[in-house]
Amino acid sequence: MSIDFKKGDGLIPVIIQDDKTLEVLMLGYMNEEAFAKTETEGKVTFFSRSKNRLWTKGEESGNFLYVKSIDIDCDQDTVLIKVDPIGPTCHTGSRSCFATSYNQNFIFKLEQVIADRYDNPKEGSYVNRMQAKGLKRIAQKVGEEGVETVIAALSETEFDFINESSDLLFHLLMLLREKNITLETIAKNLEGRHK
| Per-residue model confidence as pLDDT tens digits over 14-58 | 999 998 888 899 999 999 999 999 999 999 999 998 889 999 998
pLDDT at residue 151, as a whole number: 97
Confidence at residue 109, expressed as pLDDT on a 0 to 100 scale:
85
Q: State pLDDT tens for residues 87-125.
A: 888 888 888 888 666 667 788 889 999 999 999 999 999
Tell me the per-residue pLDDT of 116-128, one tens digit each, with 9 for 90 and over. 999 999 999 999 9
| Partners of 72 in beta bridges | 79
Conformation bin of residue 10: beta by default, left when phi > 0, alpha when psi is -120 to 50: left
The residues, ordered by sequence, that sit 6+ positions from 173 with a Cβ below 8 Å of its Cβ are 107, 110, 111, 114, 183
Q: What are phi and psi of 76, to 5 degrees?
A: 60, 35
Integer Rg of the chain from CA: 21
- The four Cα atoms 185, 189, 190, 195 give a dihedral, to 10 degrees, of 150
Alpha-carbon gap, residue 129 to 113, rounded angstroms = 15
Rounded CA separation 173/22 (Å)? 17
Domains and CATH numbers, the chain: 5-85 (3.10.20.810), 106-194 (1.10.287.1080)
What proportion of the chain, given as a percentage, has pLDDT over 90? Answer: 68
Backbone dihedral angles phi then psi of residue 151, each to the nearest 5 degrees: -60, -45
- Long-range contacts at 52-55 (CB < 8 A, ≥ 24 apart): none
pLDDT tier at 131 (50, 70, 90 boundaries)?
very high
